[in-house]
Amino acid sequence: MKVIITEDYEEMSRKAFEIMVETVKNKPDAVLGLATGTTPLGLYGKMTEDFKANGTSYKNIKTVNLDEYIGLDGSDKNSYASFMRENLFNGLDVDLKNTYIENGSAPDAEKECERYNEVLRGLQQDIQLLGLGSNGHIAFNEPFTPFGTEVHVVKLAESTIRDNARLFDNIKDVPVKAYTMGPKNIMRAKKILVLASGANKADAVYGAVKGEITESLPASILQLHPDCILIADKEAAARL
C-alpha cells in the first residue's frame, strides 16, 4: 500500500482530486466507485469546481456507490443517493442513468443484493474511493464481515449509528440496517483510493496500514490489494 501523509484536510482533498481527475482524463468512460461520508466532500467540491472552470467531462463516466441505508427511498434527503446528487452529480455533466447505487426502498432485500451484485459484475471499478469508519469499517462492512462477502445487508454497529447521527436531525432517525458492497466487490477494483482525516481515524488508519490482516478490522484487507493508495492528514496518520 502506498501511503501519502498530508498537512491537512485541504491537501488530502487536493491530492485525491489529482488522482481522480487523472483517471477521468485517461479514460473518459471509466467506472468510478464512489463513497459517502464527510471525508470525500473536499474532493467532490474540487471535482465540481474543476468541471465548472475547465469542463472536464463526465458524460461517459459510470459510477457505482458503496452503500445505502435500508428504509430510505433514493428521494429521501438522508439517503446516500440524495447525498451523491447534492454533493457531486448535480455539479457535473454525468448522466444520472449511469450512476448506480443500491435501492434502499426495494421490496425484497435479497433480490436487491443479487441485482446490485449483477450490476457490479458488469462494471469493474477503474478506481474505488473509500473512507474509513472509526472502527475500521469500509463501506458498511463492520468488524467480522467475512472477506469473501459480496453485496449484503448489514445491521449497523452502535458506534456507526452514533458516528453518522450528526447528519440526521435525531439519532432515532438513523436507519439500523444498510446495503453495502462486500469486501470482495471492493477488492475487485483496479485501483483503490482511501482517504482519512482527523484524530478519530488514527486507529483505523494504523490497522489498515500496519495492523494484522484480520476480519476484525475490515480495512486491513486493503494490504492485499496490488494498487492501493491511502491519503491521510497528519492527525489521521498519527500512529503510523
Judged by the rule CB under 6 A, the positions of this chain that interact with ligand GLP are 35-39, 66-67, 131-133, 139-140, 160, 164
Min CB(195)–ligand GLP separation in Å: 8
Q: Considering 65, 87, 103, 135, which one is annotated as catalytic?
A: 135
- Spatial distance between the Cα atoms of 14 and 148, rounded to a whole number of angstroms: 33
Supply 8's cell numbers. Answer: 491537512
Q: CB neighbours (10 Å) of residue 169?
A: 9
- The pairing of beta strand 127-130 with beta strand 31-34: parallel
Q: Write down the residue that cell numbers 462477502 correspond to.
A: 149
- Spatial distance between the Cα atoms of 156 and 69, rounded to a whole number of angstroms: 10
Q: Considering 87, 126, 137, 225, which one is annotated as catalytic?
A: 137
Catalytic, 137? Answer: yes
Q: Considering 142, 150, 163, 203, which one is annotated as catalytic?
A: 142
Query: Residue 132 or residue 205: which is nearer to ligand GLP going by CB?
Result: 132
SS3 193: strand
Q: Write down the residue that cell numbers 489498515 correspond to.
A: 208
Query: Residue 94 or residue 129: which is nearer to ligand GLP going by CB?
Result: 129
Residue 191 phi, psi dihedral angles, 5° rounding: -140, 145
Residue 116: closest CA among 170, 153, 166: 153
Catalytic, 135? Answer: yes
Query: Residue 133 or residue 207: which is nearer to ligand GLP going by CB?
Result: 133
Radius of gyration of the chain (CA): 16
Catalytic, 141? Answer: no
Min CB(185)–ligand GLP separation in Å: 13
Query: Residue 60 or residue 143: which is nearer to ligand GLP going by CB?
Result: 143
Catalytic, 67? Answer: yes
Q: Give the active site residues.
A: 67, 135, 137, 142
